[in-house]
């Protein structure tokens, strides 16, 4: 009886210690190009071992409807998980909601309202003569 109680206590401490090392992504940046309907997701998530502790899931909703739920088995770098997604149905005025989740514990959700692209200013005329 004593042995099993000690074993349970030790396992509990180990389980909580590993969750304590986990954390949600510290930042999630979104860039959407309305001309080609491409969404770039950059989830900043520092880790010492990107094969054991990483952003394991990126979920994308369009106007509250789930579109994409991509699972990952690792993170390509020690500080960032990235994804590029074609969102054909997205248009000006729509809202994209992206959730990036750590494979151990924690997640971060950000929202982006799709706006009309700002016009690129034309080069000034008559300069350089």
pLDDT of residue 2: 62
Q: Which residues contact 126 (CB under 8 A, 6 or more apart)?
A: none
**Domain containing 94: what range?**
23-113
Dump pLDDT digits (tens) for 58-117.
999 999 999 999 999 999 999 999 999 999 999 999 999 999 999 999 999 999 999 988
Give the number of domains in the chain: 1
- CATH of residue 44: 2.60.40.730
Place of tokens 């706006």: 115
In a domain, 83, yes or no: yes
Compute the distance between CA of residue 5 and CA of residue 116 in angstroms, rounded to an integer.
62
Compute the distance between CA of residue 83 and CA of residue 40 in angstroms, rounded to an integer.
6
In a domain, 124, yes or no: no
In a domain, 126, yes or no: no
Q: Cα separations (Å) of 110 from 25, 78, 82, 116, 127?
A: 11, 22, 15, 19, 43
H/E segment holding residue 2: helix 2-21
In a domain, 12, yes or no: no
Q: Would the pLDDT of 12 be above 60?
A: no
Give the strand pairing for 27-33 and 38-44: antiparallel
In a domain, 82, yes or no: yes
In a domain, 120, yes or no: no
pLDDT of residue 4: 58
In a domain, 8, yes or no: no
In a domain, 46, yes or no: yes
Dump pLDDT digits (tens) for 17-55.
444 467 889 999 999 999 999 999 999 999 999 999 999
Q: Which residues contact 4 (CB under 8 A, 6 or more apart)?
A: none
Distance of CA 10 to the CA centre of its chain: 33
């Amino acid at each position: 009886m004593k042995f099993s109680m000690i074993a349970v206590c030790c396992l509990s401490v180990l389980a909580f210690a590993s969750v304590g090392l986990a954390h949600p992504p510290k930042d999630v940046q979104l860039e959407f190009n309305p001309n080609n309907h491409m969404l770039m997701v950059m989830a900043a998530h520092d880790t010492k071992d990107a094969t054991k502790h990483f952003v394991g899931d990126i979920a994308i909703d369009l106007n509250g409807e789930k579109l994409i739920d991509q699972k990952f088995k690792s993170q390509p770098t020690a500080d960032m998980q990235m994804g590029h997604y074609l969102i054909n149905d997205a248009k000006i005025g729509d809202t994209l909601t992206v959730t990036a989740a750590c494979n151990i514990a924690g997640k971060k959700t950000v929202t982006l309202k799709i706006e009309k692209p700002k016009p690129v200013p034309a080069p000034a005329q008559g300069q350089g003569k």
